[in-house]
Structure 1
Amino acid sequence: MLLTADPALSMLERNRTFRPSAAPLSTRVFRIRDRLFRRIPAPAHRVLTRPTGSGPWTLYFAFLPGGELAAAHRDTLARLRALDRRLLVVCAAPDPASVPDDLRAASDALVWKALPGFDFSGYTAGLLALAEFAPGSDAFVLNDSVFGPFGDVGAWLAEARWALTGFTATSSLENHIQSYAFVLRDVTPARIASLRGILMPDHAFDELRRVVINQETQLARTAIRTMSVGSFLYADTPAVEDPTLQLALPLLRAGFPFLKRSLLGGKLAHLHRQDEVAAGLRAAGYSG
């Protein structure tokens, strides 16, 4: 495994093949209600620079309501540019003219998306572009909710053994891979069609909880019907509902490539001492 030994991580199962579990009845009821009454039309999007050539791609979703890159975006873009993969950026911004010039310069392919819809609408727009213009590509997909990737993320990508590989998975709500970062192999129109209930070309959800209930927690369950699914790490314990939160610092120290941005000065800053979070980021090489 790519992590160093740490007793704090002993509760995590490694290299776990996905197995569906039953969601609570209340969650299933919420899903039916949301699908019937809470969806919005898919946000507008436009391919500004087409991806060309199948092969290894990175798909990075950046939410820029003010049309400006933060230090964390710049750090991540530099790290992604250093990988031996072409970079497709999906930028959520008020309009195509709001996409920053330096983001255009940093990307090999670029898709603008209107602001509504959260990351799954961005993933949909980007994966549709790959499937159309570079079919058969493998996609390393991540959003801007995380710092990183730190360390040798290329080694992690090389170890992705399933057609859909999550970095972490949890049994919270039901067994599911977490969607801040994952690997999807062989991105073709047929593969995207098999995920149509999750990657919705015509609809979206515009509230975080609805995105989690209807898309993130259903991604692996939908994918397993047509492809292999698994994760590098899996948490199945009430003490660790989300390993990227409860075990964020032990994971980072052990060589995990991501840290949630909300843990440093954000809405989840209360979960860890801020000096320890900052020190962990510095040790990982972040200087933003």
Structure 2
Amino acid sequence: MIRTLTRLGLRRPPPPLCPIGLDQLERNWQYRPSRPDAVDRLRRLRALGRWQPAPAHECLVPIRGARDRWIVYFLFLPAGRSLDSAHRYTLARLRASGTGLLVVCAAARAADVPAELHGIADALYWKALGGFDFSAYALGLHAIAAANPGADVLVLNDSVFGPFGPIDALWPLMTWDLTGFTACGQVENHIQSYAFHLKNVTPQRMAGLAQVLPAGRAHDQYEPVVLRQETRLAVDAARRMSVGALWYGAPDLTVDPSLFAAMPLVEAGFPFLKRALRTKHTGIYPDEAIRAVLVRRGHPPGDGPPP
């Protein structure tokens, strides 16, 4: 089917699914728009009406006091009550930065949010399990816009190991109003949403991003999240602010630079490594190599991929 659609000009040829080097990526990429192919335009239209009410949420620890910078960290804990060693590593690094730390924890019930988060986070929110990471991002960013308008915010989720190295070293790299760590051209040129930095978070700025990060609604299926939120964030933001990324992978070279260029990136000082390289995307790199990278950076090596 894909070959037929490609031959008819309705689908882009897929890139090779193999590791690539840094020489195949563009560094300090200034966002430039691209156009989805015919199939992705149809898929996006099909996803148009799939908004649902935002997941239930509760403020457990409110924002207190004004800060210049915040970090929003999203934890997905369907089983609730406990953090793993990678979560604790990330939280320790974020806490050590001295930046305000707002944690959004998705769990079945507010009572399932791990008790230790109350002693780590400067602000803490529970949200129900639906809505994917964009519902958590919207919750945290709108809360900061209301309580501490004008702050700069680093946003990340628990799909990554890291950050490796001090957070303070990242701030000078965040040169655009919206800075992604990696960007790619799948569907259309976009910032990958596992981590990004947004400057000057105000109610006005969030109103300008309301089609992607709305306060009262969310998508609860993977395809609409990708097609109407992740791949639209840079598009909508670029109408109102500067947008770029530290690294960009062209669509004819890679489907995902955060996966297929992961090892050369982290060896070059990139602060994150995707957890999926040890779970659903095993085989891109040998697990022993990933484990060795974690150990060298003082990260708990974990249990590795399932048998």
Q: Normalised by the shorter chain, which TM-score bucket?
A: over 0.9
Bigger shift: 271-280 or 47-56? 47-56
Does structure 1 retain, via aligned residues, the 8 Å contact 2:52–2:220?
A: yes
Distance in 2, matches of 1:278 and 1:58, equals 27
SS of structure 2 residue aligned to 1:10: helix
Distance in 1, matches of 2:195 and 2:214, equals 19
SS of structure 1 residue aligned to 2:170: helix
Structure 1 vs Structure 2 CA RMSD: 1.4
What is the number of equivalent residue pairs in this alignment? 280
Identity level (%)? 49
Residue 3 of structure 1 corresponds to which residue in structure 2? none
SS of structure 1 residue aligned to 2:245: strand
Is 1:122 aligned to residue 136 of structure 2?
Answer: yes
Q: Which has the larger radius of gyration?
A: 2
Is 1:19 aligned to residue 32 of structure 2?
Answer: yes
Distance in 1, matches of 2:247 and 2:171, equals 14
Tell me: CA distance 1:152–1:240, structure 2 relative to 1, closer, same or farther (3 Å).
Answer: farther
- Quick one: which of 49, 53, 63 aligns to 1:41? 53
Is 1:270 aligned to residue 287 of structure 2?
Answer: no
Residue 61 of structure 1 corresponds to which residue in structure 2? 74
Is 1:280 aligned to residue 290 of structure 2?
Answer: no
Distance in 2, matches of 1:243 and 1:13, equals 10
Q: Counterparts in 2 of 1:96-175, with a 5 A limit?
A: 96-175=110-189
Is 1:89 aligned to residue 109 of structure 2?
Answer: no
Shift of 1:239: 2.8
Does structure 1 retain, via aligned residues, the 8 Å contact 2:153–2:201?
A: yes
Relative to the length of structure 2, the TM-score reads: 0.88
Is 1:231 aligned to residue 245 of structure 2?
Answer: yes
SS of structure 2 residue aligned to 1:210: helix
**Which deviations, in whole Å up to 9, do the C-alpha atoms of 1:210-257 show, x marking residues without a partner?**
211111100000001111111111111523221111111111111110
Distance in 2, matches of 1:239 and 1:19, equals 17
Distance in 1, matches of 2:75 and 2:290, equals 22
Is 1:198 aligned to residue 216 of structure 2?
Answer: no
Residue 3 of structure 2 corresponds to which residue in structure 1? none
**Which deviations, in whole Å up to 9, do the C-alpha atoms of 1:20-64 show, x marking residues without a partner?**
11111222222222122x222210112221223131111000001
Relative to the length of structure 1, the TM-score reads: 0.94
